[in-house]
Structure 1
Amino acid sequence: MRIHLTSVFVDDQEKALRFYTEALGFVKKHDVPLGEARWLTVVSPEAPEGTELLLEPDAHPAVKPYKEALVHDGIPAASFAVDDVTAEFGRLSELGVTFVQEPLTMGPVTTAVLDDTCGNLIQIAHSA
């Protein structure tokens, strides 16, 4: 068994697609119209057949309070592995990405937390 698909709830799929591709560097995998929304997934360019991230509309009434509570408490909706958190923090900061936690080393793990512009906090992490 392996993870095939996971999702983040976003308040605007088009804005999310731009952020996740242009800033974070993912590539679009699927873009299927579904009425007002789309089945919109991105993948890592390093693993185009790997785990897909669904940019899921946050229209369900339970989602917005859930997202707000996570952000209020500083809890990331997802965590992405990077080779070097400090370097990625610098690259993303130059692109105008807002971080709510700068790189922080905790034993063998370094993390940073960013705002995805779509209502979520996202953690980037690497292990030494």
Structure 2
Amino acid sequence: MKIRLTSVLVDDQAAALHFYTEVLGFLKKHDVPLGEQDRWLTVVSPEEPGGTELLLEPARHPAARTYRDALAEDGIPLAQFAVDDVAAEYERLSALGVRFTQKPLETGPVTTAVLDDTCGNLIQIASRPR
């Protein structure tokens, strides 16, 4: 069993695509129209273009939006991404105007930070020391 796809809930797929590719640095993998408004829109890590895809899922269902918004309101990240160095990524993204709700924090063997993806989600980035 393998994880091939996971998703984040977004209000605006075009804005999400911009943030996840132009700011975070992911690559667009699939962009398939689904009706008049929605798309099957995925991104992948440039380090693993054949790896797990992140679906930028429209948050149209009321339960999805309620769930996502409740997590964000409570400061709980919807997803976590691995990075080589949280402090360096924090500096890079901060310089691009990304808002963090948690600065880099060492928690035992892991360093984490939490950012606002501008699409309704909090995303945690994490790294382990080498």
TM-score tier after normalising by the smaller chain length? over 0.9
Percent of aligned pairs with the same amino acid: 73
Q: Would you say 1:41 and 2:42 are equivalent positions?
A: yes
Number of the residue aligned with 2:95: 94
> Cα distance, 1:15 vs. partner?
0.2
Q: 1:107 and 1:61 mapped to 2: Cα distance?
A: 37
Give the Cα–Cα distance (whole angstroms) in 2 for the partners of residues 97 and 20 of structure 1: 11
CA deviations on 1:10-68 (whole Å, 9 max, x unpaired) are: 01000000000011100000000001100000000000000000000000111111111
- Cα root mean square deviation, aligned: 0.5
Matched, 1:121 2:122: yes
**TM-aligned CA deviation for residue 73 of structure 1:** 1.1
Question: What SS does the corresponding residue of 1:20 show, helix, strand or coil?
Answer: helix
Matched, 1:2 2:2: yes
Map 1:31-110 onto structure 2 (within 5 A).
31-35=31-35, 36-110=37-111
Which residue matches 1:111? 112
Q: What letter matches 1:56 in structure 2?
A: E
Aligned to 2:30: 30
Deviation at 1:111, TM superposition (A): 0.2
Q: Give the TM-score normalised by the residue count of structure 2.
A: 0.97
Q: Number of aligned pairs?
A: 128
Measured in 2, the distance between the counterparts of 1:31 and 1:119 equals 21
**Letter aligned with residue 75 of structure 1:** I
Structure 2: unaligned runs, 5 residues or longer: none
User: What are the ranges of 5 or more consecutive residues in structure 1 without an aligned counterpart?
Assistant: none
**Matching residue's letter, 1:91:** R
